Amino acid sequence: MKLPQVIREKRKQLNLTQEQVARYLGVTAPAVNKWEKGISYPDITLLPPLARLLGTDLNTLLAFHENLTDQEVEQFAAELSAMAMTEDFAVCYQTAMEKIAQYPTCVKLLYYAAVTLEAALIRLPEKDERQRCREEIEKLYLRAAQGDDFEISHQAKLMLAGRYIERKELEQAEALLDELPELPVDTVHLRASLYIAQGKLDKAGELMELAVAKAGQELESHFLMLIEIAAEERDEQRLEELIGLSQKTAKLYDLWGIFPCLTEFRIAAVLEDKDRCIKALKNLLAAMKQPWKINQSSLYKHIQDEAGSYALTEQMTASFAAGLKNDPTVAFLRKDPEFLGLIKAFEMDVKEEKL
At residue 155's C-alpha, the angle toward residues 151 and 161, to 5°, is: 145
pLDDT tens, 269-281?
878 888 988 888 8
- Using alpha carbons, select from 292, 289, 295, 278 the residue that is nearest to residue 332: 278
pLDDT reported for residue 306 = 47
- Using alpha carbons, select from 7, 104, 4, 106 the residue that is nearest to residue 55: 7
Share the mean pLDDT of the chain: 82
CATH architecture of 3-61: Orthogonal Bundle (1.10)
User: Can you give 270-307 as a three-state secondary structure string?
Assistant: HHCCHHHHHHHHHHHHHHHCCCECHHHCHHHCCCCCCC
Q: Establish how many alpha carbons lie within 13 A of residue 241's alpha carbon, considering only the half-sphere containing its beta carbon.
A: 7
pLDDT tens, 58-103?
766 766 555 678 888 989 988 998 888 888 888 999 999 988 877 7
Residue 37 zone, left/alpha/beta (φ > 0; ψ -120 to 50; rest): alpha
Q: Is the separation of the CB atoms in 300 and 294 below 8 Å?
A: yes
Nearest-angstrom CA–CA distance, 89 and 132: 13
pLDDT reported for residue 307 = 43
Residue 312 zone, left/alpha/beta (φ > 0; ψ -120 to 50; rest): beta
pLDDT reported for residue 355 = 44
Nearest-angstrom CA–CA distance, 295 and 50: 66
Q: Is the separation of the CB atoms in 68 and 105 below 8 Å?
A: no
Which segment of 37-46, 59-68, 87-96, 205-214 scores lowest on mean pLDDT?
Answer: 59-68
pLDDT reported for residue 308 = 44
Q: What DSSP designation does 310 have?
A: B
pLDDT tens, 106-137?
889 999 999 999 888 877 767 788 888 889 99
- Please tell me the class of the 70-197 domain: mainly alpha
pLDDT band at 265 (very low <50, low <70, confident <90, very high): confident
Once rounded to an integer, what is the mean pLDDT over residues 126-155? 88
pLDDT band at 43 (very low <50, low <70, confident <90, very high): confident
pLDDT band at 349 (very low <50, low <70, confident <90, very high): low
- Dihedral angle computed from the Cα positions of residues 294, 296, 300 and 302, in that order, rounded to the nearest 10 degrees: 110
> Which residue blocks in the chain are alpha helix, DSSP H?
3-13, 18-25, 29-37, 47-53, 58-61, 70-86, 89-102, 107-120, 127-145, 150-166, 170-178, 185-197, 201-232, 236-252, 258-271, 274-288, 314-324, 337-354
Ranges of each domain in the chain = 3-61, 70-197, 204-354
Once rounded to an integer, what is the mean pLDDT over residues 217-237? 85
- The SS3 of residue 79 is helix
Nearest-angstrom CA–CA distance, 343 and 333: 11
Q: Is the separation of the CB atoms in 312 and 288 below 8 Å?
A: yes
pLDDT reported for residue 196 = 93
pLDDT band at 311 (very low <50, low <70, confident <90, very high): low
Q: What DSSP designation does 123 have?
A: G
String of DSSP letters for 9-29: HHHHHTT--HHHHHHHHTS-H
Q: Is the separation of the CB atoms in 83 and 95 below 8 Å?
A: yes
* Position 152 pLDDT exceeds 50: yes
